Amino acid sequence: MAHTHTVRSSRVRLDASVAVWVPVALAGGVTLIAAIASLARESLSWHDSVGIALLVAAATLAEAFPVPIEGVAVGSTSLATIFLVAGATIYGWAAAAVAGFLTMALVELGRRRPFSRVAFNCGVYVLASGAAGAVADRFQDGTLLGLALGAIAAAIAFYVVNVPLLAAVVTRSRGVAFAPSLFSYVQLTFVPFAVMASLAVILVVLWDRSPFVAVVLVGPLLATALYQRWIHGALNRLREFDRLKDEFIAIVSHELRTPLTSVYGAAMTLEKQQLDESRQHELLEIISTEAARLSHLLDDILWVNRLDSGRARPHITPVEPLALTEEVVDAARTHLPDGLSVEVLHDSPLPQVAADADRLRQVLVNLVENAVKYSRAGRIQVRLGSHYGTVRFSVRDEGPGIPLSQQERIFEKFYRLDPNMTRGVGGTGLGLYICRELVDAMNGDIWVESAPGAGSTFSFELPVARAS
Ligand code: ADP
Q: What is the pLDDT of residue 421?
A: 57
Q: What is the pLDDT of residue 55?
A: 93
d(CA 419, CA 204): 56
Under 8 Å between Cβ of 363 and 411: no
Q: What is the pLDDT of residue 10?
A: 42
Domain containing 338 — which CATH number?
A: 3.30.565.10
d(CA 184, CA 103): 27
Q: What is the pLDDT of residue 277?
A: 87
Higher local confidence (pLDDT), 50 or 44: 50
- Any idea of the CA torsion for 334, 336, 341, 343, to the nearest 10 degrees? -40
Centre of ligand 1 to C-alpha 430, Å, is 9
Q: What is the pLDDT of residue 213?
A: 80
Domain final residue, candidates 267, 290, 309: 309
- Would you place residue 18 in the very low, low, confident or very high pLDDT band (cuts 50, 70, 90)? confident
Is the confidence at residue 128, as pLDDT, over 70?
yes
Centre of ligand 1 to C-alpha 254, Å, is 17
Paired sense of beta strands 390-397 and 445-450, if any: unpaired
Domain containing 255 — which CATH number?
A: 1.10.287.130
Say which amino acid occupies 306: R
- Would you place residue 16 in the very low, low, confident or very high pLDDT band (cuts 50, 70, 90)? low
Q: What is the pLDDT of residue 313?
A: 87
- Would you place residue 13 in the very low, low, confident or very high pLDDT band (cuts 50, 70, 90)? low
Residue nearest to atom 13 of ligand 1 (CA): 416
State the total domains in the chain.
3
Number of Cβ within a 10 Å radius of residue 132: 34
In this structure, are 252 and 389 located in the same domain? no
Residue 214: inside a domain, yes or no? no
In this structure, are 195 and 271 located in the same domain? no
In this structure, are 323 and 297 located in the same domain? no
Residue nearest to atom 27 of ligand 1 (CA): 374
In this structure, are 14 and 105 located in the same domain? yes
The answer to pTM > 0.85 is no
Element (H, E) at 448: strand 445-450
Q: What is the 3-state secondary structure (H, E, C) of 347-396?
A: CCCCCCEEECHHHHHHHHHHHHHHHHHHHCCEEEEEEEEEECCEEEEEEE
d(CA 412, CA 336): 27
Element (H, E) at 340: strand 340-346
pLDDT in tens, 264-308: 999 999 888 788 888 899 999 999 988 988 888 888 888 888 888
Contacts of 53 (CB under 8 A, 6+ apart): none
Domain final residue, candidates 286, 309, 332: 309
Is the confidence at residue 131, as pLDDT, over 90?
yes
Residue 192: inside a domain, yes or no? yes
pLDDT in tens, 153-186: 999 999 999 999 999 988 888 888 899 989 988 9
- Would you place residue 253 in the very low, low, confident or very high pLDDT band (cuts 50, 70, 90)? confident
Under 8 Å between Cβ of 329 and 382: yes
- Best of 417, 425, 447, 458 for a ligand 1 pocket test (most atoms within 8 Å of beta carbon): 417
In this structure, are 19 and 150 located in the same domain? yes
In this structure, are 264 and 364 located in the same domain? no
pLDDT in tens, 305-360: 888 888 888 999 999 999 999 999 999 998 888 899 999 999 888 999 999 999 99
Is the confidence at residue 73, as pLDDT, over 60?
no
In this structure, are 321 and 303 located in the same domain? no
In this structure, are 344 and 285 located in the same domain? no
- Would you place residue 75 in the very low, low, confident or very high pLDDT band (cuts 50, 70, 90)? low
Under 8 Å between Cβ of 103 and 80: yes
Centre of ligand 1 to C-alpha 257, Å, is 21
Say which amino acid occupies 298: L
Under 8 Å between Cβ of 118 and 105: yes
Centre of ligand 1 to C-alpha 345, Å, is 23
Is the confidence at residue 2, as pLDDT, over 70?
no
Centre of ligand 1 to C-alpha 462, Å, is 22
Domain final residue, candidates 284, 309, 334: 309
Domain containing 105 — which CATH number?
A: 1.10.1760.20
Centre of ligand 1 to C-alpha 248, Å, is 14
Longest dimension (CA), the chain: 107
| Pocket lined around ligand 1, Cβ cut-off 6 Å | 370-371, 374, 397, 399-400, 402, 410, 416-417, 422, 427-433, 456
Contacts of 194 (CB under 8 A, 6+ apart): none
Q: What is the pLDDT of residue 420?
A: 60
Centre of ligand 1 to C-alpha 246, Å, is 19
Is the confidence at residue 14, as pLDDT, over 80?
no
pLDDT in tens, 371-425: 999 987 899 999 999 988 999 999 999 999 999 999 999 999 888 887 665 566 6
Residue 240: inside a domain, yes or no? no
pLDDT in tens, 438-447: 999 999 999 9
Judged by phi (left if over 0) then psi (alpha if -120 to 50, else beta), residue 310 lies in left
Higher local confidence (pLDDT), 254 or 54: 54
In this structure, are 44 and 187 located in the same domain? yes
3-state secondary structure of 420: helix
Residue 226: inside a domain, yes or no? no
Q: What is the pLDDT of residue 15?
A: 59
Residue nearest to atom 25 of ligand 1 (CA): 401
In this structure, are 192 and 338 located in the same domain? no
In this structure, are 68 and 142 located in the same domain? yes
Residue nearest to atom 2 of ligand 1 (CA): 427
Region 31-48: what's the mean pLDDT? 91
Centre of ligand 1 to C-alpha 465, Å, is 30
d(CA 151, CA 200): 7
Residue 215: inside a domain, yes or no? no
Q: What is the pLDDT of residue 427?
A: 76
Q: Which atom of ligand 1 is nearest to the CA of 400?
A: 25
Q: Which atom of ligand 1 is nearest to the CA of 421?
A: 16
Under 8 Å between Cβ of 414 and 428: yes
In this structure, are 367 and 257 located in the same domain? no
Centre of ligand 1 to C-alpha 293, Å, is 16
Mean pLDDT of the chain: 88
pLDDT in tens, 219-238: 888 888 888 888 888 888 88
Residues 197-231 as b/e (b if ≥16 CB within 10 A, e otherwise) read bebbbbbbbbbbeebeebeebeeebeeebeebbee
Q: Which atom of ligand 1 is nearest to the CA of 395?
A: 23
Q: What is the pLDDT of residue 419?
A: 65
d(CA 99, CA 172): 28
- Among 358, 351, 375, 360, CA closest to 453: 375
Residue 238: inside a domain, yes or no? no
**CA atoms within 13 Å, Cβ hemisphere of 183:** 5
- Would you place residue 191 in the very low, low, confident or very high pLDDT band (cuts 50, 70, 90)? confident
Domain span at residue 8 reads 3-209
- Best of 408, 414, 416, 421 for a ligand 1 pocket test (most atoms within 8 Å of beta carbon): 416
Is the confidence at residue 20, as pLDDT, over 90?
no
Centre of ligand 1 to C-alpha 410, Å, is 7
Q: What angle do CA 99, 32, 92 make, to 5 degrees?
A: 55
- Would you place residue 433 in the very low, low, confident or very high pLDDT band (cuts 50, 70, 90)? very high
Q: Which atom of ligand 1 is nearest to the CA of 458?
A: 23
Residue 77: inside a domain, yes or no? yes
